[in-house]
Structure 1
């Protein structure tokens, strides 16, 4: 039985893409760079914010353009209310159930910690997360297993007692690099290829399906 659940955040617990694309497009427009649809944006997901912006800018991805686009986007994003960023159905309910079962619950994301905290305080206030490890410029981001292994070390559990729940190929590779099991959710920002990856224990359609692992 698993004792520790490590969740990806965006695309797994929370649906954030509508606000992200809206405010990113505002930043791109300010510098006359092409804007994106949500479907186009998903193709660039996986890395940290600098890596994503660099991919989006394509031939315009000079260090200065990356910096100013990222900084402008973050300034707009942090000031915005982000009313369209909401938990996926059943995510709050299932986290409560896992917590009641005594499962340790952690988050590992390439989103900044303070940004994660904004939404956990707003939508998951009654969940006592064991650890939240977002993007930190002092350490490598996903799919590097640094943060996952640090969570596991502090939880003092065996690798076999941990499961990583995510929505994308980056999450699968993170779990693989850490040597832990992985479940993929189908409602996020991944694709069919991710769901069919041989490393994945299961690709689930309903959050209730995660409970059996605990």
Structure 2
């Protein structure tokens, strides 16, 4: 089972929005309400930076904004971020079953590792991958396929779990099943339109799904 991180395992929106708005304030750009970031995140840091600045912002300045966000976010990434209710119980139950667990995020790899190390017990996940140089972001399935290969798992036996269309498409592109979670950043409609094989409304439902299959 390959899990997305932000919006799936961790509610990180407040800290992302706070860091982003702090950067925008420094630059004199308009700030955004927190809920706007629901649609800004999910496609990597550079895309987040491009979405939060005015449209006429140059590519060079977008890169500078992304770099500044990284610096500011380092100081606040865990201020308010926490696992969603029921996530730890779900993961502990899954660890008792004959399944391998992994995390795959478009968040930069260093932050992905920080989150997993801070909020989850050691060795809960057999693989943890954020966005790394030279590796395409989701929905490209390259990283997901590498995780499947690491575990010696057939693609068709893998399950991609996430809260966005990007996650659903990642599973589909890799020949995996895709399971959407409704408690995250994106809408049920987006998950359905992006090919979710199943939607769940509470983490405990994933345990039942795994046992039944």
TM-score after normalising by structure 1: 0.92
Aligned to 2:161: 165
User: 22, 25, 31: which is aligned to 1:26?
Assistant: 22
* Bigger relative CO (Cα 8 Å, ≥ 6 apart): 1
Aligned to 2:111: 115
Instruction: Give structure 1 stretches of 5+ with no counterpart.
Output: none
CA contact (8 A) 1:166 1:183 kept: yes
User: Is 1:143 aligned to residue 139 of structure 2?
Assistant: yes
Aligned length: 210
Aligned to 1:40: 36
CA distance in 1, matches of 2:79, 2:43: 24
User: Is 1:65 aligned to residue 61 of structure 2?
Assistant: yes
Query: How far 1:129 moved relative to its partner?
Result: 1.0
CA contact (8 A) 2:165 2:194 kept: no
CA distance in 2, matches of 1:106, 1:65: 34
State the secondary structure of the residue aligned to 1:104.
coil
TM-score after normalising by structure 2: 0.93
CA 1:58/1:126 → structure 2, altered by over 3 Å: closer, same or farther?
same
Q: Deviations over 1:59-111 (max 9, x none)?
A: 23312211221111111111236220000011111111111113100001001
CA contact (8 A) 1:14 1:88 kept: yes
Q: Which moved more, 1:100-109 or 1:126-135?
A: 126-135
Aligned to 1:50: 46
RMSD: 1.5
Query: How far 1:126 moved relative to its partner?
Result: 4.0
CA contact (8 A) 1:96 1:127 kept: no
User: 1, 5, 12: which is aligned to 1:9?
Assistant: 5
User: Is 1:90 aligned to residue 93 of structure 2?
Assistant: no
CA contact (8 A) 1:106 1:131 kept: yes
Q: Deviations over 1:4-54 (max 9, x none)?
A: x00000000000000000011000111111111122112223311111211
State the secondary structure of the residue aligned to 2:101.
strand
Aligned to 1:132: 128
Aligned to 2:202: 206
> Once superposed, which parts of structure 1, at least 4 consecutive aligned residues long, lie more than 4 Å away?
none
CA contact (8 A) 1:163 1:182 kept: yes
CA contact (8 A) 1:168 1:190 kept: yes
State the secondary structure of the residue aligned to 2:193.
coil
